[in-house]
Amino acid sequence: MSHWTIVRCDLCGATHSSHAAESVSAVREAMALMGWAVARQDGRMIDVCSACTTLRNTPDNPGGKPRCSCEGGELFDALGHDRIGHRLANTLLRAGVDNLELLCSLSARQLLSLEGIGTAGAHHALSRLRPEPERDTTG
């Protein structure tokens, strides 16, 4: 029986897979040769693909904080170009939700019924699609 080790970029969702006969550290060493990196973001260690790694230290990104380099698309644009937005968009695409109109038609209960969508993902999607109205603080 054979299986694979899959590492996902925490910024854009890109994946790298390797035969599981290799240890995770061996997989990460091989990925480093292909430009992948492990970075610290918000106090946590994240995996960053080669496309996202190349954008880390540019003049328009001072401090080299990893950022998204995906090609976008309406789900990615609506849900945000961050870790949770990309993971949510990729999960929705796998579940067959491939456009914003369909996503907007789903209730919280329907979102939670999709494989891989938890309460945080459903809340994120609903808050991005139906933001709370701003309160008038002048009067």
Q: For each of the chain's 139 residues, which pLDDT tens digit applies?
A: 456 677 777 776 777 777 655 677 777 777 777 777 887 777 777 887 776 766 554 555 545 554 566 666 788 888 887 778 888 888 898 899 988 899 999 999 999 999 888 888 888 888 888 765 555 555 5
Residue 9: the pLDDT is 76
Residue 22: the pLDDT is 64
Helix (H, G, I), strand (E, B) or coil at 68: coil
Residue 1: the pLDDT is 45
pTM of the model: 0.51
Alpha helices, H only, 34-139: 50-54, 74-79, 83-94, 100-105, 108-113, 119-129
Residue 3: the pLDDT is 65
d(CA 27, CA 37): 12
* Residue 67 contacts residue 54 (beta carbons within 8 Å): no
d(CA 66, CA 29): 20
